[in-house]
Chain A
Amino acid sequence: MAAFDEKEYTQSFDLSIWKRLIPFLKRYRLAFVGMLIFNAVCASIDVVIPLFQRYAIRNFIEAETLEGFWPYAAAYAGVVLLQTLSVIAFTRNSMHIEMNLGKDLKRELFNHLQTLSFSFYNVTPVGYLLTRVMADTNRIAGMIAWNMTDLLWSIFYVGGGFGAMLFLNWKLALVVLLIVPVILALTGYFQEKILRWNRRIRKLNSRITGSFNEGITGAKTSKTLVIEDQNTNAFRKLTEEAELAGVKAARLNAVYIPLVLFFSTMAVSIVLLRGGYMVTEQLLEIATLSTFLTYAVGIFEPIQMTAANIAEFISIQASIERVTDLLDRTPDIQDSPEVIGRYGDLFHPRKENWEPLTGEIEFRDVTFRYPDGGEDVLKHFSLHIPAGTTVAIVGETGAGKSTLVNLACRFFEPTSGQILIDGKDYRERSQLWLHSNIGYVLQNPHLFSGTVRENIRYGRLDATEEEIRAAAKAVSADIVVEKLEHGWDSDVGEGGDRLSTGEKQLISFARAVLADPRIFVLDEATSSIDTQTEQLIQEAIDHLLKDRTSFLIAHRLSTIRKADLILVVKDGKIVEQGKHLDLLKKGGYHHDLYSKQFAEESQARVLKN
C-alpha cells in the first residue's frame, strides 16, 4: 500500500494563488472598507497625539501662559475618545471579516468534500482533510483579518509619521529616512533565516508529539521488550535537537533586534545633534524638535514589525494553496449536466422526476481497475441480477469482496463496460437517486454523535417516532436501546464510541431498515452481534431481504446458504460463481472456504457453550 504523500508547496510568492481568495473577500467589501477607514483614523490619531504635546510646549510652556488651556484639554480628550471609538470600530470589522471568511471557506470546503469520490477518500487520511477544513481556513481568515489590520496600521502610522516629520522639518526627516533601507536590509537578511529555523522547530515539535504518541500507544510492547531506556534515549536525542534549534533561532533574533535598535538610535542621535544645533541657531523650535524625536523613536518599531508581519502573511500562501487544491479536485464520479438537469444535484434534488427503483442490476462487460491500482480486478465481467436476488460475496479478509458492491452502488464506476439498473445505464441517472435507494450496513458501523434516536432517524429524516421504534424492533435493536441509561435519548458518543460494536451494528441496521431501500448491502453486518441476538435478527433479515436486491458480504454459513447467488472472490478477482450447492459439488475454492468456516463456527459454538 502506498503511503500518503503530501505535496510540497511552492515557497515563492505566487499572485495567482492569492487571486483565488478574491471571490471570498468580495463579499465583505464593506467590512474591509470600514476596517480600512477606522484603522486609518486610529493611525492618524497616533500621529497627531505628539502634535498636541508640541502645541502645549509652544503655546503654554514657552509662552508662559495658560490661556486657552481648557479648550485645548477638551480637544485632546475629544481626540482620545475618538481614538477609543475607532479602536472598537476597526476591531469589530476585523472580527467580522475573520469569522465570516473562515465560515465561508469552511462551508465551501465541506460542501466540496461531500461531492468527492471514494477513490479520493481511500487514499487521503481523514486527519489531513480535517486540517484543511479547520486549521488552514482559520489561519487564512485570521491572517487576512488581523495581519492586514496590523500591516495597514503600520503603513498608515509610518506614512503619517514621515509625513509629519517632513512637514516639521524636511531636512531632518531625510536623515531618518536614510536609516530605513539599512533596517530593511537587516530585516530581509535575518527574517529569512529566522523563518527557516522556525519551520525546523515546528517540524521537530511535531516529531516530539509523534514520539509521545508512539511511546504511549506502544507502552505495552516497550515493557515486554524491556526497551524503555532505549526509547528514552532516542527521545532525549530528539529533545536535544529541539533545544539546540530553539537556542539557535533565539540567537538570530538576539542579534537582529539589537542591531535594529542600534541603527534606529543612530538616527535619533543624528537628529538630536543636528536638530539641537538648529535650535541654538534659532532655526528650529525646541517644541518641534521634541515632537520630531518622538516620531523618530516611534517609527522604527512598526517598520521592523512590518517585515515580520509581511513574512508571516506570505506564509499563509501554503494554506491557501492547500485549500484551493482541494477545491479544485474534481470528483471522479460526476453526474452529467443532462442528468443534473433532469434529476437535480446533491443539494437541489428534483425528486418529482425520480423513477421508482425496482432493483434489477446488470453488469455488462465490465472491466474495472481501482484508480490507484495497477491491474484490472474485473475483466469483461457480465452478470445479471434480477430484482429481489440475494447475492452473497464470499472470500478471505482482504480479498476484495467490496469491489462489486462499490461498483453496484456507484462508489466507483467501471473502467469500461456498463452497469445497468432497471435496464438503464446508471450514469443516466443521478447518484443521489441511486444512493437514496440503498441501505448500507457496515461491519464497523459508523454512528454520529447524538442520541440513538437521531442515529436511527438518519435513515429517513422525516420518520415518525413510531416508525423509528418499529425499525429498531424489526432488528431487535430496541432491546439494546432499552438497556441504555437514557433509552432512546442516550448519547452514543463521538463516532458511537459509547456503544459496543455489536450494539452499533444493531443501531446501524435499524437505520438502514428505516430507510426502506430497494437495495441492501450488508457488509459483515452482523459479525459482532452475539449468537443469541443474531438468531433473533436472522429472521428479521430474511424477512427484510425478501423482494429486495441485496448484497451480503459475509462468512456466516447461514447467510451464505440462503443466498440465491454466490460470488467467490480471491485475490481481488471473482473465481467462482453460482448456487451454493453447485459450488460445493464442484469442490473448488468455495468448498475450501466453506469447510474452514464450518469448522470455525462449530468450534466457536463449542467454546461459547
Chain B
Amino acid sequence: MKNTWVLVRRYFSQEVRNSNVLFSLGLYLVGVAYLIYLLNGGGVPADKTWNSLLWIVVFFGAIQLSARSFEYESNDYFYYYQTIAGPAATIIAKLLFNSAYIAVISGLTWGLFSLFFGNPVFNTLLFGLALLLGSVGCSVVLTLTSGVAQRTQGNATLSAILALPLLLPILQLTSVLNLQAIVGVPTGEALNLVASLAALDIGIGLLAYLLFPYLWQD
C-alpha cells in the first residue's frame, strides 16, 4: 500500500513536470468544445445531444491520456519498475491516478459545455456522481487496454481499438444516468442505477487487478 501512494505521487509529479502535455490536453478540450460551438452556429443542442457530445469529448480526452499511460514503463524501464514495485501496486496506482485524471477531464468538459451551451443539468449531485462513476469505469478499461497495447510494443492506436467496444456498455449505462440527472430525477429514485454502475466499476476493477499480473511479466 505504501508503494501505491509513492507511485501515485510519482505519476502526478511526472504529469505536472511534463507541462506541455497538460497544455495540449487543455487545448484539446477547449478547442473541441469551441469547434462544436462553431459548427452548431452558436445554438444550444438538445439535452440528449448535449450529453452525447460531452461524452465524446471526454472519451477522446481519456484515450489521449491513456495512450501514454505506460509511456514510462517501456523498454528497460519496464524491468526497473517491475523490480521496485510489483504488479499489484502498479495497477492500483494507475487506476487511482487515471480515475482521478479522467474525472477532472470530465468535470472540466462539463464546465466548458456550461460556458458555451448553458447547463441543462437539473440534479447536479446525480450528474456529478454519474460523471465520476463513468470516469472510473473508463479508467479501468483504458488502463487495462493500454497495458495490453504497451506489451505489444507501443502500438498506440491498438489501445483505442481494444477499448472502444468494451467502453460502450459503461458509457451507455452512464449516459442513461446522466440523462436522468438532466431531466431532474430525484437522487433517491436513481439509486438503483447508481448502485449497478458502481457494482460494474468495482467488478471490472477487481478483474483488472486480477489480470494485470499476467500482463506485467515477460
The yes or no verdict on A and B being binding partners is no
Q: Which residues of B contact A (CB under 8 A)?
A: none
Q: Which residues of A contact B (CB under 8 A)?
A: none
